[in-house]
Chains A and B, each alone.
Chain A
Amino acid sequence: MSCSTYYAGKTWIHRLDPRPRILLCSVLVFFAMLSWSPGLLTLLFGLSLAAAGFARLPVRALGKRLLRLNLFMLVLCVVFPLTIPGELFLSWGPLSFSKAGLFKAVLITLKANAIVLFFSAWIGTIDLFSLGHALHHLHVPGKLTHIFLFTVRYLDVLHHEYQGLVRAMKVRGFRPRASLHTYRSYGHLVGMLLVRSLERSERVLAAMKCRGFTGTFHPYHHFHFHRRDYLFCGAGVLCTVLLGVLHAAWQVTS
């Protein structure tokens, strides 16, 4: 497990300031969730594919993610036509599949895929430490960003400790089975992990107090706008206005 796993790269998207990226992503996802217009959702899906292309997202990793998502969407494409009444497109024995149900399932599939691609391209390309600092600069409460950054900092450490404990169990002949012994062993493993985490947190707090910690989180990573960020903000505002106009023009009731 790598705590900084994200879609790394050196494209123009990666070089942008993370703050306007987070805001633009929020706007695009907002319209994807708000709209039930097939035209607008298709446009947003196209934009999300373009963003994924510009960010040069790894095809294999993204493909696995989209495959898992679309397997669930396939379930919806079966359930919705069975449960939403309307004109039938297929009848099989006692089962009747409606066009309206299939149409709604397809729209939700477009929404979900667009949202995943937007988040992967705009947020997935920010490394976690920069994301934490960007959220702090976007006025997310200091305690929350503090928890976020500390959690990210200690993920690898705790995963390493977990692996050590599991290795110790295995060399003593532990084999996981569906049994009380296995659940007790894993329960004690997690208990041990928690005890070590709590003791580590006490040491961390003591170390911070020795260095003058008074409760305020001081971010050390600051961002500065370059010309490309101003251009990006301008393009983002234009995109927001355009999407608003298209949403109003193509609005349908769900």
Chain B
Amino acid sequence: MEGPVAIERGSLMHLTEGVAPLGVAVGGGILALAGVAIGLSRLKDDQVPRAALVAATVFVVTSVVRLPLGISSMHPVLCGLCGLLLGWSAVPVYLVCLLLQALLLQVGGLSTLGVNTVAMGTAAVGVHLFFSRALKRAGDGRIFFLGAAGGFVGVLIALACWGGALVLCGGSFLVLVKAALVPYLVLGIVEALFTGFVVSFLAKLRPDVIA
């Protein structure tokens, strides 16, 4: 969220540079590598341009789209949507997006790239595992609600990973995690509505895109 709530843009979603001690950063890096390896093994060569174009879309949308929220506004998270579109391939796509966000927009960090990739990748894969199959079989009436549920669950999983990683960085960060719970809840509700509308739109035009 922008405005009075967030001090640094992205501090509610991604670990900032320098916050993670070496153990957490290396552990996150190893888990991220494992997730990326699985994602790349399930990505056929023919699907690489598709993954890259989705990565570019996610980067542009999470950077420039701002959803109004009272006196503030928020950038969409899209971890749930990314999982529904790409499945396990969302992990290498998120690695690329987070690398570019750190380099071009100075959001997140390069030393915390592994941890942040694990957080967003886990959210994307979790939503894919819980919702993709149901979404492919859903009738028109249920698509919006399944998409919305996917968006909300994605934010919840990202919160759990981000909060867990911060607490591993130091017990003192628990205060920040508790302070972020209400903003995350609001973010989750808006993300749910937004994802529901995107998924409904895609279901009408390109029902084949769900992974």
Contact = CB atoms under 8 A, between A and B. Distances in A.
B64 A29 contact: no
A143 B18 contact: no
A124 interface: yes
Nearest to A145: B96
Interface stretch (A51-59, A108-116, A218-226, A235-243): A108-116
B64 A201 contact: no
B25 A195 contact: no
A178 B52 contact: no
B172 A108 contact: no
B175 interface: yes
B193 interface: yes
For the residues of B in contact with A, the DSSP-based class is helix
The interface residues of chain A, by DSSP majority, are classed as helix
Interface string A27-38: 001101110000
B24 to A, nearest CB: 9
A180 B144 CA distance: 13
B176 interface: yes
A109 B84 CA distance: 38
A108 B59 CA distance: 29
Contact of A158 (B43, B56, B67): B56
B40 A143 contact: yes
A150 B100 CA distance: 12
Q: How large is the interface on A (under 10, 10 to 19, 20 to 34, 35 or more residues)?
A: 35 or more
B119 interface: no
Interface string A139-177: 001011011101111110111001000000000000011
B96 A148 contact: yes
23 contacts: A80-B172, A112-B16, A112-B17, A113-B18, A115-B17, A124-B103, A148-B99, A150-B49, A150-B52, A151-B52, A151-B55, A154-B52, A159-B60, A159-B64, A162-B64, A186-B65, A187-B194, A187-B200, A190-B57, A194-B198, A197-B53, A204-B49, A215-B45
Interface of A: 1, 3, 5-6, 29-30, 32-34, 65, 68-69, 71-72, 75-76, 79-80, 82-84, 101, 104, 108-109, 111-116, 119, 123-124, 128, 131, 141, 143-144, 146-148, 150-155, 157-159, 162, 176-178, 180, 182-184, 186-195, 197-198, 200-202, 204-205, 208, 214-215, 254
